[in-house]
Amino acid sequence: SSTHLLCRWHVNKNIVKNTRDKYFELGEEYVDRNNVRKNRRHELWIKFWDLWEAILNSKSQEEYEENVQNLRACKVREEAI
């Protein structure tokens, strides 16, 4: 049997390829109360990516499991659709 090591860079590229364009394509822009142009789906993508990076940067098994639960609980995908 052989062990496959996954390169973090390749895993991240795959996550981007299979999530951003599918679920977080740019939608309509809006202007917030501070007169700043924003895009809801882009904001959701940033939120998703931050949660994903927290998983990758977990320093222990316990922290990893907590970060996975945070991503699952977030429901970013449902908000983006």
Global pTM value:
0.68
Q: Is the pLDDT of residue 49 over 80?
A: yes
Q: How confident is the model at residue 32 (pLDDT cuts 50, 70, 90)?
A: low
- One-letter amino acid for residue 13 of the chain: K
Task: Answer yes or no: is pLDDT of 16 > 60.
Answer: yes
Q: What's the mean pLDDT in 23-30? A: 64
How many CB atoms within 10 Å of residue 26?
12
Query: Residues 5-31: what's their mean pLDDT?
Result: 75
Give the lowest-confidence range in 34-38, 61-65, 69-73.
34-38
Q: What is the DSSP string of 46-58?
A: HHHHHHHHHHHT-
Q: Where are the domains of the chain?
A: 8-80
- Is the confidence at residue 66, as pLDDT, over 70? yes
Alpha-carbon gap, residue 60 to 80, rounded angstroms:
30
